Structure 1
Amino acid sequence: MHRPSTQPRPSIYYDYQVFAPWLPSQNPAQERKKVVIVGAGPSGMVTALELARHGVPCVVLNAELQFSQGSRAIVFTRRSMEILQQVGVADRMTEGGLPWRFGNSYYRNQRCFRMEAPHDPDDRFFPMINVQQQYMEEYLHDACQAHGLIDFRWGNKVIQTEQKEGFVTVTVDTPEGEYTLDSAWVVAADGGRSAIREGMGLRMEGASYEGFFVIADIKIDLPLPTERLAYFDPAWNPGNTILMHREPHGIWRVDYQLPAGETPEEALRPESLKARIDAQLAMIGFGGTPWEMDWSSVYSARTLTLPDYVHGNVIFTGDAAHLLPIFGVRGANTGFQDAQSLGWHLAFVIQGLASEKLLANHSAERVGAAREIIDEAGKSTRFMAPPSGGFTVLRNAVLSLSLTQDFVRPLYHWRTSRPHEYTHSALNSRGDDNALFTTGPAHGAPPQNVRLGGNDFLLDHLGGGFDLLYFTHAAAIPQPLQEVVAAARAQKIPLKVIAVGAIQPVAGADLTLPDTHSHCRQRYGIQTDGGAYLLRPDQHVCARWLTLDATRLQAALNAALPQ
C-alpha cells in the first residue's frame, strides 16, 4: 500500500501544502480514459494543459502529495515563457520571477567574459527568468485544477503498465490500496528515474560524466544583480567550477563541483557544506555575511536519450525520455518544448485529424532536438567539468588567454538552451517558397514575436490550432483561399486566418492586425501583398510563401496532417 509522506517538506521560503489523496473508494468505477499522464512535474502538467487546450481530457497521476522539494529548475528561457503563455501561467511567472540577460565568467576570480543575451522591443519576455520550481509547479497545478478536462490525482503511484490491443492497463497504488485504470494512451512523464521506462526494459543512449556538483540553496542578502556568475579554478576549489544564481525570496543558488575522490555523502555533510559556501562567499568579498541553508542535493551531468519516444501506446516525455546536464538551462526548458509538441500531436491523433504517423513525427522531431542539445551540452559539460587532463589543459589555456585576448572569449560561450528548429520535419511543405526568403523564420522555426503596439504582441494572438498569417492591405482574403479554409474547418481542423497589414477588418479573416509601419512584414521577410506563413499548433513554421494560392495552401495542410 502506497504511503506518501504527509509531513510538509521543510523550507525557509516556501509554504508547502499537503494535498488530499485521490482514493478509489470515493470515486465511481473507472471508464477507459483517453490519456493518462504519469508524473506531475513541469513536463507532465504542461502536456495536460496542452491536451486540454485542444479539447482532450486526461488524468494526471502524482505519487506524492505535495510539490517537489528544493528549487531544482530555476532558469526559464524566453521560449519557455512563450509556451507557458499559451497554457496561461506566464503572468504569474513574470510577477514572481527575476528576469535577466547577462552572464559573467571568472578565471581565478578575475572576470574574463561577459555574456549578453539579445533582447529588443519586439520581445515580450526577457531571455531568462529565475523562478524556483515549486512556484512554477504551483502555477501549473492551479491552471490544471481550473480546467474541467484535467483529472488531477494526488497520492497515486503507478506500479505497473501493461500494453494490450489498442490500450494500456495501468495499475495504481494509493493509501487505501490498488486499482486499475485503462487508457488509450499513457504519457510517461515520471522523471529521470522513470519506473515505466525501467519496467519496459528501455535503455537510453549517450554518455554520463564522472564529475559531481553540489546544489545548495541558501538564504542570504547579497547586493549583487540578477546575473549568472561562473567561477573557474578558484583558489578554494582548484581546477573546479562554481555557479551562482540569484533566486526570488532572498535565496541564492550555489552549485560547486566536488574535488576528485569526494563522495556525494561526504559532500552533503553540514560541516562540508558550510566550509565550501563560506569559502565561496569570502572569495567574492562577502565573507562573514550570515546565511541559512534551505536545501541541498548532488547531481552529475548526463547526456542521454531514448532513440524513440513512442512505444506502442506509451509515449515518453521530459526527463523520462532524455537526461540533459543543467549547463545552459536545458532540463525543464527542453521538457516544455517536448510537452508543447506532444500535446498537439497526440490530440490530433485522438480526434482523428491525422493518423498515428503524426506521433512518429513527434518522436523524430523531439529525438532530433535531444540529440542536438546533447551535442551542445556535451561541449558545455566538457568545459565546465573537464573529463580528462587534456580537456583541463585546453580549458585553462582558453580561460587564461581570455583575460587579455578578446577573440578567445566566445570560444567558451555557455551555449544557452534555444528552441529547436524542425528544419527537416516531415510536416514541412515541399512546394512552398521557403528557399526564396532572405529573412524571417524558416521551415520548422518558432515564430518571431513582434510588438504591435503598447502591450500587444503578435504571439498573443497565436495558438490553439493552425494559424495562417496572410499579409495584405486588401479588403478580403481571396475567395479560393477562403474555400480551402472552409473545407479544412469542415473536417474539424482548427485553422485561424490572421490578416496582417490592413487597417480595417479584412473579410474572410478571423482577425486583422494592422502593420502601420510594415514592421511585422519586415520581420517576416514579406515584400508584397499575398505573402503568408502557416504555423502549426505549436507555432513552428511548416510553410511560407512569397505569394500564396489555394493549391499550395491545400498541399501544405495535407503535408502537416498525414493520413
Structure 2
Amino acid sequence: MTLPSHVPVLIAGGGPVGLMLAALLTEYGIASLTLEADDDYCSGSRAICISRRSQEIMGWVGADRALTATGLAWTGGRSYYRDREVLHFEMPHEPLQRYAPMINIQQYAVEEYAHQAMQRHPELASLQWSARVTGLRADAGGVTVEVDSEGRRQTVRADWLIACDGGRSTVREAMGLKLEGMQYEGRYVIVDIEQESQRPVERLAWFDPPSNPGSTLLMHRQPGNVWRVDYQIRDDEDPEEAVKPENVLPRVQSHLDMIGETAPWKPLWISIYNAKCLTLDSYRHGRVLFAGDAGHLVPIFGVRGLNSGLDDAGNLAWKLAWVLKGQAPDSLLDSYSVERVHATRQNLAYGAKSTEFMAPPDYGFRLMREAALRLALVDEAVRPLINPRQSAPISYDTSPLNLDDRAPQAGAATPGQPAPEALLQDGETPRHLSEYFGAGFVALAVSPGAALAAGLDALAASTGNAPHPLRVLRIGTDAGSLRDTHGQLRQRYGGDAGTVYLIRPDGYVLGRWTAPTAGALLAALKPYYPAIDLGANKEDQA
C-alpha cells in the first residue's frame, strides 16, 4: 500500500492508546494515519482492567457499548494470607452509576472496539498494519517520518507525530530520549487459561498461598471463560525457564486445586513481567508528542498502565484538535505535558507503594509486609494497609489552564478536578452529566436567573460557528432545564443559585463562579473560542 505523502497527524503505534487517540480525533474532524508494526491486534490478555474513567473516554466515540456488553464488571476484591482472608475491599459505586468501577476485558478487545470507532469516519482515519517508523527528522513546521511498510521504504510528512509505540518506542529512541525512574527486580509470570467457573467477578490475591509457597498470586476472570493468573517467581529462577509450560502448568494446577476449581482447563497464553516506574520529563518535544507506554511505564498493580494511556489520549485529542482547527495556539499542547506528567508522577507514587507490597524489593519490605498480613488476621484496623489502591482520575492541581476559584463555597469540584458524575433528568429521559462531555466546552449553571440564563445562551450562540460550540446546561425546574431529581448535582457541585461551572471537553473543571459577569465568562472562554463576542454587553451580568 502506498502511504500518503502528507497527513495532519501521524500516530506511531496502533495499540489501544494510538487507536483510541485516532478515534477521538475523528470526532473533532481531524485526519490521521496510524502505523502499527504488527499485522493484527495484540495476543494475550495484557492490560485487562478498564477503569470507570477509561469507560467514559471510550464512550466519547461510542466504544463503550461493546465494552460494557462484553466485559465483566466488578466492584471489589479479596486478599488472602496463605489460606485465610485478610481483606475484602469495595470500590465506590452506587445503583445510579453510569459505569462500573472496573471492567475486566482482554486488551485486544479494547483495540478492536477503538478501531471500530475509527471506522465510523473512514474518510478521516486509516490504520496501516505491518508498518513501523524507522527514522524521523523534526523541524519547526512538522516531522518527516521514514516508514517501513510491508518491506517497502516510504516517507510521510506529518504536521504532528504522536508516539504511541509502547515501552520500546522507536520514536523515543530515534529522538535520543530516555525514560527515567526505577525498575523492580521481582518478576511475575502471566498466564491466561480457559476454564468454566461460577465464581463472582472479583480481584483475588493470595500472599504465600499453600499452592505456591513464598509467592504472591493474582486472579481475574475475563470474558470467554478465561482466568488471568499472575504469580511471582523466585529471584533465583531463570525467566526463560519460568515461562516454559512444563514449569507453569503445575503451579497453576496446584492453585486451582487449592481453591476448588476442578473443571477441565487449558493454557492460552504465557508471558513474564517486571514492574517499572519510568517516565519522560516532558511529553512534548516540538511537533512530537508522547502518549501511553511510549512516555511512561507504570506498574500493573493498581491497573494504572493502560488506563493512564487512555487518559493521555482523552487529554491530548481535544487540545490537538483545537490547535489544528486554529482555535488555540500550539502552546495549548504544553498543558498536555504538564498535566499528564503530573498524573504519571501520581500514578508512579501509588504504583510503587503497591509494587513494594505485592513484590517486596528487599528483606525490610518483606518483613513489614509479613507483619501487616499477620496483624490483619486479627486486627481490622490493619487491613486497609493491604488495599491495592485501584486507579482513579487524577486532579490537575498545577495545570496552567486552571482559573482562579470564584466559588470556593461550592464544594469539592474545584478547578483542575475531574467533574463529578451526576444523574440528571432531561424531560422524561435520565442522562448522566458525563454524557455531555467529549466534544466542546460545557457551561453548567445551577438555578440561573433570567439574566444569567439569557447571557449564557448568548455566549453559546456566539460560538455557533466553531467546530464544537459551547453547550449550556441549566439545572433547575423551569422549561428547558435539566432536573436534579436525585440531588446528586446539588451534593457534588453546590446548590447556590447562580453558580456556574465551565467544564473542559475532557470533563475537567476549568473554572467556577457565583453570579459571574459576562466579561468574566468571556475572558475564560476567549482562549478556546477566539470569535466569541458579546459586543457592548460584555460587562453586564451574564
Give the TM-score normalised by structure 2: 0.93
Looking at structure 1, the residues matched to 151 and 163 of structure 2 have their Cα atoms a distance apart, in angstroms, of 24
Match of 2:409 among 419, 436, 440: 436
- Shift of residue 475 of structure 1? 5.4
| Residue in 1 that maps onto 2:514 | 546
Asked if structure 1 preserves the Cα contact closer than 8 Å seen for 2:446 and 2:496, the reply is no
Looking at structure 1, the residues matched to 258 and 370 of structure 2 have their Cα atoms a distance apart, in angstroms, of 19
| Residue in 2 that maps onto 1:16 | none
| Residue in 2 that maps onto 1:303 | 277
Looking at structure 2, the residues matched to 208 and 285 of structure 1 have their Cα atoms a distance apart, in angstroms, of 36
Are residues 1:417 and 2:417 paired? no
Closer, same or farther in 2 for the Cα pair 1:517/1:281, shift >3 Å? closer
Letter in 1 for 2:483: P
The 5 Å alignment of 1:346-365 reads 346-365=320-339
| Residue in 1 that maps onto 2:226 | 251
Looking at structure 1, the residues matched to 515 and 454 of structure 2 have their Cα atoms a distance apart, in angstroms, of 15
Closer, same or farther in 2 for the Cα pair 1:279/1:346, shift >3 Å? same
| Residue in 2 that maps onto 1:19 | none
- Shift of residue 176 of structure 1? 5.0
Asked if structure 2 preserves the Cα contact closer than 8 Å seen for 1:46 and 1:140, the reply is yes
Are residues 1:214 and 2:189 paired? yes
Looking at structure 1, the residues matched to 219 and 407 of structure 2 have their Cα atoms a distance apart, in angstroms, of 42
Letter in 2 for 1:152: L
Looking at structure 1, the residues matched to 394 and 244 of structure 2 have their Cα atoms a distance apart, in angstroms, of 40
| Residue in 1 that maps onto 2:173 | 198
**Secondary structure, counterpart of 1:513 in structure 2:** coil
Asked if structure 2 preserves the Cα contact closer than 8 Å seen for 1:122 and 1:449, the reply is no
Are residues 1:323 and 2:323 paired? no
| Residue in 2 that maps onto 1:461 | 436
**Secondary structure, counterpart of 1:364 in structure 2:** helix
- Shift of residue 237 of structure 1? 3.0
| Residue in 1 that maps onto 2:538 | none
Aligned residues: 527
| Residue in 2 that maps onto 1:103 | 77
- Shift of residue 555 of structure 1? 2.8
Asked if structure 2 preserves the Cα contact closer than 8 Å seen for 1:526 and 1:546, the reply is no
Looking at structure 1, the residues matched to 185 and 441 of structure 2 have their Cα atoms a distance apart, in angstroms, of 45
Looking at structure 2, the residues matched to 462 and 80 of structure 1 have their Cα atoms a distance apart, in angstroms, of 13
Q: Deviations over 1:30-85 (max 9, x none)?
A: 34211000111111011111211112111111122211011111111111111111
| Residue in 1 that maps onto 2:501 | 533
Asked if structure 2 preserves the Cα contact closer than 8 Å seen for 1:62 and 1:157, the reply is yes
- Structure 1: gaps (5+ residues): 1-22, 506-511
Closer, same or farther in 2 for the Cα pair 1:174/1:413, shift >3 Å? same
- Shift of residue 283 of structure 1? 2.1
- Structure 2: gaps (5+ residues): 532-542
Are residues 1:339 and 2:320 paired? no
Asked if structure 1 preserves the Cα contact closer than 8 Å seen for 2:463 and 2:529, the reply is no
Are residues 1:520 and 2:489 paired? yes
Closer, same or farther in 2 for the Cα pair 1:50/1:217, shift >3 Å? same
| Residue in 2 that maps onto 1:373 | 347
**Secondary structure, counterpart of 1:214 in structure 2:** strand
- Shift of residue 479 of structure 1? 4.2
Q: % of aligned pairs identical? A: 43
**Secondary structure, counterpart of 1:37 in structure 2:** strand
**Secondary structure, counterpart of 1:514 in structure 2:** coil
Looking at structure 2, the residues matched to 517 and 111 of structure 1 have their Cα atoms a distance apart, in angstroms, of 37
Closer, same or farther in 2 for the Cα pair 1:518/1:301, shift >3 Å? closer
| Residue in 2 that maps onto 1:178 | 153
Are residues 1:128 and 2:96 paired? no
| Greater CA drift, 37-46 or 276-285 | 276-285
Looking at structure 1, the residues matched to 491 and 353 of structure 2 have their Cα atoms a distance apart, in angstroms, of 35
| Residue in 1 that maps onto 2:241 | 266
**Secondary structure, counterpart of 2:94 in structure 1:** coil
Give the TM-score normalised by structure 1: 0.90
| Residue in 1 that maps onto 2:539 | none
Match of 1:277 among 252, 270, 274: 252
Closer, same or farther in 2 for the Cα pair 1:415/1:426, shift >3 Å? same
| Residue in 2 that maps onto 1:153 | 128
RMSD between aligned residues: 2.0
Looking at structure 1, the residues matched to 433 and 211 of structure 2 have their Cα atoms a distance apart, in angstroms, of 49
| Residue in 2 that maps onto 1:72 | 46
| Greater CA drift, 273-282 or 379-388 | 273-282
Looking at structure 1, the residues matched to 86 and 495 of structure 2 have their Cα atoms a distance apart, in angstroms, of 41
Letter in 1 for 2:191: A
- Shift of residue 543 of structure 1? 0.6
Looking at structure 2, the residues matched to 308 and 180 of structure 1 have their Cα atoms a distance apart, in angstroms, of 27
Q: Deviations over 1:489-517 (max 9, x none)?
A: 56666311121213412xxxxxx423356
**Secondary structure, counterpart of 1:186 in structure 2:** strand
Match of 2:356 among 354, 377, 382: 382
- Shift of residue 105 of structure 1? 0.4
Looking at structure 2, the residues matched to 514 and 436 of structure 1 have their Cα atoms a distance apart, in angstroms, of 22
Closer, same or farther in 2 for the Cα pair 1:249/1:393, shift >3 Å? same
| Residue in 2 that maps onto 1:499 | 474
- Shift of residue 486 of structure 1? 4.2
Closer, same or farther in 2 for the Cα pair 1:294/1:493, shift >3 Å? closer
| Residue in 2 that maps onto 1:83 | 57
Looking at structure 2, the residues matched to 221 and 486 of structure 1 have their Cα atoms a distance apart, in angstroms, of 56
Letter in 1 for 2:101: P
Asked if structure 2 preserves the Cα contact closer than 8 Å seen for 1:80 and 1:333, the reply is yes
| Residue in 2 that maps onto 1:397 | 371
Looking at structure 2, the residues matched to 149 and 48 of structure 1 have their Cα atoms a distance apart, in angstroms, of 9
Asked if structure 2 preserves the Cα contact closer than 8 Å seen for 1:349 and 1:356, the reply is yes
Looking at structure 2, the residues matched to 319 and 107 of structure 1 have their Cα atoms a distance apart, in angstroms, of 32
Q: Deviations over 1:181-200 (max 9, x none)?
A: 00010000001110111111
Closer, same or farther in 2 for the Cα pair 1:248/1:184, shift >3 Å? same
Closer, same or farther in 2 for the Cα pair 1:396/1:279, shift >3 Å? same
| Greater CA drift, 197-206 or 495-504 | 495-504
The 5 Å alignment of 1:8-157 reads 23-24=1-2, 30-147=4-121, 148-157=123-132
Q: Deviations over 1:114-145 (max 9, x none)?
A: 01111113411111111111111111111112
**Secondary structure, counterpart of 2:482 in structure 1:** strand
| Greater CA drift, 202-211 or 519-528 | 519-528
Closer, same or farther in 2 for the Cα pair 1:559/1:497, shift >3 Å? same
Looking at structure 2, the residues matched to 422 and 355 of structure 1 have their Cα atoms a distance apart, in angstroms, of 21
| Residue in 2 that maps onto 1:15 | none
